Chains A and B, each alone.
Chain A
């Protein structure tokens, strides 16, 4: 029990960094493509924003 708990904790702490990085990268992509309000980005992403239901303008 103690060993398997330790193993689990080790697996989780090893995975924590990569998981966090994926969350940050994924959220950033979602923000830039879906929410950032620069005019050029807005125009380029316009149709996708409407189609995906992101609040557009």
Chain B
């Protein structure tokens, strides 16, 4: 059984990862590169220009875990080539130029989606072991459920970020992210497969819980890129996720049901 699960996950996740990467290059990469020009200071959005009296220092401290860690060196108005003062200098241009960078994007999209596929197929296995068949329709619904749990629900508290967007401390955001993923997956599972109103109510409560607690927030808004760019980025990132996940669910269910147990 493990081999059947593993092979289905690698094949379905691999293909879905390539699809996600293709959509990434079609819809997202130019937005991301443009945002980095604002992040580095090569481009300056008029509202964020220092001449307008916009106080970067106030927002900067919320940008990183360690505000005392040489933030003075992190000046968005410095022209291109500025080194981040936050300890990890990410040049955004790994050796190999954009080809190398985009190759890594394809590779990590495949890795991430194989991971998603493993979780999805673990769910298929559990559903089947309790006597439920996973057809194409169930596959698509499971895929969209995975999208809701891993991307959509976390995005309601922590929107997909443009590079250079100030945000709350990383550790706190990661904790809230994992909690939201677990609660949403559990809540949807209870709604879909639970019997009786009590379990349905528990499912709704689980879905709501992370949002009642609330995601960690940065102090104020201090992004340097135009809001239009951030909106486009977030909407497209979620759209790509929805498409890739729906495909992943459908394809994984086809691979899964084609093979003898």
Contact = CB atoms under 8 A, between A and B. Distances in A.
Interface in B130-184: 130-131, 150-151, 154-155, 158-163, 167, 170, 173-174, 177
Given A45-B104, A50-B32, A56-B161, A29 B115 contact: yes
B108 A29 contact: no
Given A50-B32, A55-B158, 7 more contacts: A18-B125, A26-B117, A33-B111, A33-B112, A55-B170, A57-B90, A57-B170
Given A22-B6, A47-B29, A53-B238, A42 B88 contact: yes
B24 interface: yes
A53 B158 contact: yes
B116 A26 contact: yes
Contact of A33 (B32, B115, B240, B241): B115
Contacts of A48: 24, 104-105, 108-109, 112
Interface of B: 1-2, 5-6, 9, 20, 24, 28-29, 32, 64, 86, 88, 90-92, 94, 101, 104-105, 107-109, 111-112, 114-119, 121-122, 125-126, 128-131, 150-151, 154-155, 158-163, 167, 170, 173-174, 177, 233, 237-238, 240-241
Contact of A52 (B92, B121, B129, B151): B151
A32 to B, nearest CB: 8
Given A47-B105, A57-B86, A57-B170, A18 B64 contact: no
Interface of A: 8, 11-12, 14-23, 25-30, 32-35, 37, 39, 42-48, 50-57
B20 to A, nearest CB: 8
A12 B132 CA distance: 12
A37 B112 CA distance: 16
A15 to B, nearest CB: 4
B64 to A, nearest CB: 7
